[in-house]
Amino acid sequence: MPESRPVAQEPLRTPDRASSDEAATVRRAQLGSTSAFDSLVRKRGPDLYRYLLIRLGNESDARDALQETIIDAWTGLPNLRAPESCWPWLITIARRKAQATTQRKRPRVLDFDPDLLPHADESALEAWDAIVRLRPIHREILFLRYIIGLSEKEAADFLGIRVGAVKTRSLVARRELEGVLRASS
């Protein structure tokens, strides 16, 4: 006679999970939670919009690109394998949308447009003026590293360059920006 033992009788003990964690929100959105997705859009939408605004230089294009970014995020979320990498992933989508927009239109230099900053103070306007004078690769690395908050590794993945190149480019960009700011003040 085979030995017959009772099956497990104890409830399963699962690890604690912080519900406030963005990865958990992303995971729920991946699984179809509309409220989680809305929450994600509310949290990350403003920064995505700012990024697009700086990349594209006008509100109309930025708004369109944001909508397209969020659509892609919704449809692509189930395929995102690392929920904790959602923010770099979103920025990557936004960047792709911005590139598509600029390719559709005639490429242009990002001009200083005070209308974009209706509530800007003096220092913000100076910073804007300085930023647009930077070379695009320096402008971008500054945004990615010091405003959007990507790590060196994430920025390297995002730009398709080595981590060492990110470090170098960041350093040079900061020096360049600092120089422009000091010169203008």
The site for another protein (CB under 8 A) is made up of 2-15, 27-28, 30-34, 37-38, 41-42, 45-46, 49-50, 53-54, 59, 63, 66-67, 70-71, 73-75, 77-79, 81, 116-121, 123-124, 126-128, 130-131, 142, 146-147, 170-171, 174, 177-178, 181
Closest CB to another protein among residues 8, 106: 8
- CA–CA dist 105, 98 (Å, integer): 11
Q: How far is the CB of 176 from another protein (least distance, A)?
A: 10
Using CA atoms of 83, 89, 90, 93 in order, give the dihedral in degrees to the nearest 10: -140
Closest CB to another protein among residues 37, 158: 37
Closest CB to another protein among residues 74, 102: 74
DSSP H stretches of helix in the chain: 22-30, 34-56, 59-76, 86-104, 122-131, 136-142, 152-159, 163-184
Q: How far is the CB of 171 from another protein (least distance, A)?
A: 7
Q: What is the maximum alpha-carbon separation in the chain?
A: 91
